A = this chain, B = another copy of it.
Amino acid sequence: MADNRRSQPHPRGRRPAGENTRAALLAAARVEFTERGFDGATVRAIAQRAGVDAAMVNHWFGGKDGLFVAALDIPVDPTEILSRILDGDPEQTAERILRTFLSVWDANGGGALAALVRSVASHEQAARMMREFLGRVIFGRIVTAVAPDQPKLRAALCGTQMVGLAMVRYVIRLEPLASADPHTVVAAIAPNLQRYLTGVL
């Protein structure tokens, strides 16, 4: 579970109400995002389903994006990721995307990512959430910021490269990519990813 908050261990059976609120929101979010997609699901409906005040979404997750990513079990903060990626020369966006993702993914040997990709491949619900995540939260916004045209096609093409890299490096573990240092991976892949972002299609 992605948990951006630091929490103290608490005695068995005495969970603070906040933890219950957070868990209820996550469960409700998974249902709403799956049924309605990222755009269709509203913070109000999720909070209502969880039986808590809508303000709790901001309190616990910093907003809808944060709740979505927490529900997706991805151990990253999308706002921080986005600003790291969008800050700087648009022609080096691909390099920043790859450097950022590799640093997150490599952190635990790709274990969390491999688990995520596995669940995406085997569960329609996870596939749908990944579709939304790739399409809107990450690539939708990055691509909108830098693409000269065809933002949706460009976002999907970026998705092929990033999902494929995740599969080959962490799930299939094909050498030499599985153990290549991040610098080598970035140098090899960045020009391709950059073409999908800003090149002639």
Chain A residues within CB distance 8 Å of chain B: 117-118, 120-122, 127, 130-131, 134-135, 152-153, 155-157, 159-165, 167-169, 171-178, 180, 184, 187-189, 191-192, 195-196, 201
Q: Is the CB of A153 within 8 A of B165?
A: no
Residues of B within 8 A of A157 (CB): 177, 188-189
Instruction: Tell me whether B118 and A171 are in contact (CB under 8 A).
Output: no
Contacts A/B (CB < 8 Å), 17 sampled = A117-B121, A120-B167, A121-B121, A121-B122, A121-B171, A131-B173, A135-B174, A152-B176, A153-B188, A157-B188, A157-B189, A159-B168, A159-B177, A160-B169, A163-B172, A167-B167, A187-B201
A176-B188 contact in complex given A161-B164, A164-B162, C-beta closer than 8 Å: no
Q: How far is the CA of A127 from the CA of B184 in the complex (A)?
A: 23
Which B residues touch A122, using CB under 8 A?
118, 121-122
Q: Which of chain B's residues have a CB closer than 8 A to the CB of A195?
A: 191-192
Say how far A188's CB is from chain B's closest CB, in angstroms: 5
Interface-centre pick from A118, A120, A155, A171 (highest chain B CB count, 10 A) = A171
Of the listed residues A117, A161, A162, A172, the one surrounded by the most CB atoms of chain B closer than 10 A to its CB is A172
Contacts of A169 in B (CB 8 A): 160
Q: Of all chain B residues, which has the CB nearest A126?
A: B172
Contacts A122-B122, A177-B153, A192-B195 given; does A167 touch B160 at CB 8 Å: yes
CA distance A161 to B121 in the complex (A): 17
- A175-B152 contact given A161-B164, A164-B164, CB 8 Å threshold: yes
